[in-house]
């Protein structure tokens, strides 16, 4: 027995909706991706990177920040999103706050691990050159950490989009991918739902691909890229 088009539209119907609803899809893309995702992604990854430097510099913070970060990363998004909406309102800042929470811990853990990737002989060599902590950090440890950092950036590129869309289910202005999916499902407008999903999937792939290309340009020396 075939599946009804009311439940699963054909590719041609989805494509027709994509081409005929460009204005709606672009407005939703701007609200979700260009605001919530990119801003939350930048704040979450940037603040986690700074926190990782502090954790590396001050061992006491390693015992304090990492367990807290682990706790925050374990919080379910469906529990956090309504709270963020109450704190920051229905517009994009509450969705960006959810993205910050979702992207902070992966970036923190990967950066801390990356900063520890250089071996003792390399660090001893820097000390023989009388290098300061910051010279060793920028000339040795950060370059060695780049594969770890980009791994976190790629992971977070997908987490950020998922987090922003799911967060819009719990309160949003009259635009956004999550808002549109939620309302369109309620009205059985499933070709619009699949059109939104297609746009989200394409945006996620392009975002991931852009970061992967940047990784190849920055870590061209690494065996995983040269090989």
How does pLDDT run across 130-165, given as a tens digit for each residue? 777 788 888 888 888 899 999 999 999 999 999 999
Residue 2 within any structural domain of the chain: no
* pLDDT band (50, 70, 90) for residue 2: low
pTM: 0.87
Instruction: Return the pLDDT at 140.
Output: 81
Q: How far is CA 183 from the centre of its chain?
A: 25
Q: What is the percent of the chain with per-residue pLDDT over 90, rounded to a whole number?
A: 35
Cα separation, 73 vs 43, in Å, equals 16
Under DSSP, the state recorded for 29 is H
Range of the domain at 133: 20-226
More confident position, 197 or 70:
197
Residue 13 within any structural domain of the chain: no
Cα separation, 162 vs 157, in Å, equals 9
Q: How far is CA 194 from the centre of its chain?
A: 22
Residue 5 within any structural domain of the chain: no
CA distances from 223 to 45, 112, 142, 150 (A): 25, 21, 16, 15
How many domains does the structure of the chain reveal? 1
Do 57 and 113 meet the contact criterion of CB atoms below 8 Å apart?
no
Structure tokens belonging to residue 14: 């989805």
Q: Residue 52: is its pLDDT beyond 60?
A: yes
* Distant-in-sequence, close-in-space partners of 115: CB < 8 Å, separation ≥ 6: 52, 53, 56, 137, 141, 142, 144, 145
Q: Residue 115: is its pLDDT beyond 70?
A: yes
Instruction: Return the pLDDT at 65.
Output: 73
Domain of 207: which CATH number? 1.10.3720.10
Residue 143 within any structural domain of the chain: yes
Cα separation, 30 vs 141, in Å, equals 37
Do 159 and 152 meet the contact criterion of CB atoms below 8 Å apart?
no
Instruction: Return the pLDDT at 224.
Output: 66
Residue 1 within any structural domain of the chain: no
Q: What is the largest CA-CA distance in the chain?
A: 75
């Amino acid at each position: 027995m075939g599946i009804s088009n009311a439940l699963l539209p054909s590719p041609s119907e989805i494509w027709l909706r994509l081409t005929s609803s460009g204005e709606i899809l672009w407005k939703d893309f701007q609200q979700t991706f260009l605001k919530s995702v990119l801003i939350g992604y930048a704040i979450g990854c940037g603040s986690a990177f700074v926190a990782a430097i502090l954790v590396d510099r001050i061992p006491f913070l390693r015992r304090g920040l990492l367990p807290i970060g682990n706790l925050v990363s374990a919080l379910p998004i469906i529990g956090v999103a309504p709270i963020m909406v109450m704190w920051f309102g229905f517009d994009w800042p509450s969705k960006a706050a959810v993205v910050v929470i979702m992207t902070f811990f992966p970036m923190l853990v990967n950066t801390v691990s990356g900063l520890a990737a250089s071996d003792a002989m390399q660090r001893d060599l820097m000390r023989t050159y009388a290098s300061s902590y910051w010279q060793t950090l920028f000339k040795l440890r950060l370059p060695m950490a780049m594969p770890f950092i980009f791994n976190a950036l790629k992971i977070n590129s997908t987490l950020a989009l998922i987090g922003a869309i799911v967060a819009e289910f719990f309160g949003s202005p009259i635009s956004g991918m999550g808002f549109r999916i939620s309302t369109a499902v309620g009205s059985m407008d499933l070709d619009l739902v699949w059109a939104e999903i297609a746009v989200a999937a394409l945006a996620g792939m392009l975002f991931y691909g852009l970061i992967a290309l940047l990784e190849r340009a920055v870590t061209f020396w690494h065996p995983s890229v040269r090989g």
